[in-house]
Structure 1
Amino acid sequence: MSTAARIRVLIVALVALAVLAVAYTVYAASRTDVRDEPRPGGPVVREGGLTLDAPGRLLFRNMAWGPLRDRLASVPLGASRGVRTAGGPTCYTFHAAGGTGVCVQADRGLVNRFSVVIVDSRLRELRRYPAGGGPSRTRVSPSGRMAAWTVFVSGDSYAGTNFSTRTSILDSRTWTLHESLEDYTVIKDGRRYRSVDVNFWGVTFADDDLFYATMATRGKTYLVRGSVSSRTVWTLTDNAECPSVSPDGTRVAFKHRVQGDASSLPWRLHVLDLRTMKETATAETRPLDTQVAWLDGDTLLYEVPAEYEADLWEVPADGSGSPALVMRAATNPAVLR
């Protein structure tokens, strides 16, 4: 083939690629337009101002289709199916308490990058930290002083064993950052424990020093109690993941892995009484992958996969009753007390 012929072939190929790129862009834009349109019968969402210091409200990530999808939103407690007020930053995961919020944001590109943003009660950015991996769990202590986040270093799911996470704890008063819980001393079964495969995720704060989390090592998961000031964690029980401590600090709700369940969601919700160490299975029997919130001292609030990605449900923490739908098209609930 002559040089001129090769050039003609190259030009034709480049034109074809350009046509395909334009066609795909138009197609993607048309799909985005569809996704951005509110769906008939879906939740009503209106843009407005949000604050993190208004008690008696439920804050969450709005998943209803429309221009405010993925924005933070809130409703009064007890009026969860009413009109939503949405505003503030777009967060992939979020949690708030005591007038402080922790928001994990995605910087979209050829390679997605994530940042952890600490915000004040008016959702104004205070500090920003590179996440270093895909976002997973976030929590803020009841006072608003301490914040924690977990990111995937490898893998993107807790269902299997081929994943690694990094969990960080930040003091938002002194801006002291503990970059990884793996630097903490581990006391397992009363003895100091070391292993190269130790992995942590899912912090929940009882106060500004005491916290609970999941630790994994040698194929097992453990509920651990930790102290920020002593940089130490102690194992409490096994087969407990993504804990959430009750408002009074006496119970921990968590995911209990069902032995022999090889599905992508092999967990059921349980509650541990920290005084008696008795575990109680809740009435929610559907498989879930979530870190629950406590709606009040007796009720768990959690997300269930659904049409809009997820809906929020509630169930009594004592094993009684049955699950009930709280709201559609919502994730990452935080109860402002």
Structure 2
Amino acid sequence: MSSVEERELAEVRMIEEGLRSVYDGDAEGVIEAFNGLRGFAINLVNLNITAEYELDAKALIIAMGDIGRETAERGMKTASIASALALGEVVVEAADRERESLALKALSVLGNLSLEFGRKNLDAAAKSAAESLGNVGKASSRKKMEIMTGLSEVYLMRLAMKAMEENLSETWDTALNYLGEIGVSSAEQGIEKDAVGAAILLEELGSAAVRKQNEPRVKSVIKTLGKLGRELFQMGSKNALVQTVWALETLRILAKEQEMENAVSAGKRELELLSTAGILDEEQNLEKIQEIKEFHRQILKRG
């Protein structure tokens, strides 16, 4: 038996062991299986990729997602957390090695799994997935991988939406904070589209919170936007700052219409701290933002 055949057989056995442990309710066995599968996947990422190796790696990543969904179905908290951590490490490794095809596949599996955790009301697992998505977004921005960074933002926004629906407070806070951090990281790397994208998605989250009459969530989005805006102001990232100010003003007005006085006050305070009077009136800036919004809409569709 060749070394490749031995590796493939070991992978199959580990997948079977992971599923068997899930069905037996053996969380430690599932965690051990994920550690092994993560190692196999990272090894494949670091090989000189051939078509065969890439297919093998993608099949392995899909299997990890399948096992993760089974843990969610059975409410296995620690095993679900392990699945999010393992997939997150695979995505980051693939991004660091600039294996974009594998990174995108693993990110897709992780993003969809995070939403499954949200649907099953597994706050700790969903929070862990949010952390993994956030780390992926920041790692991708450092590599200037625009699509990867944008998709990470989209998955975090969707997870935050689910967290708001299911009242998963830890997941909400984590997803929100990482969205802002990815925006800052993108601006630092000069990836304007993803810096603007973070502000756009935060505005969408805030608008959804207004529609749900959830003032505490509106305030938390406003504070995140304010923090992002101050970082962007320091870096001179003008277009992203324009979008952030635009988002803050939009949320302030929406909150005012719904008589959310605390959110209105928070919005006004953050706008004053940014000291950006007149920035929304610059026609050239607004035209640029529309272009970037259209780009981000395309990213959202692919996500």
Whether these two folds match at TM > 0.5 is: no
Structure with the bigger percentage of helix:
2
> TM-score when scaled to structure 1?
0.26
Larger radius of gyration: 1
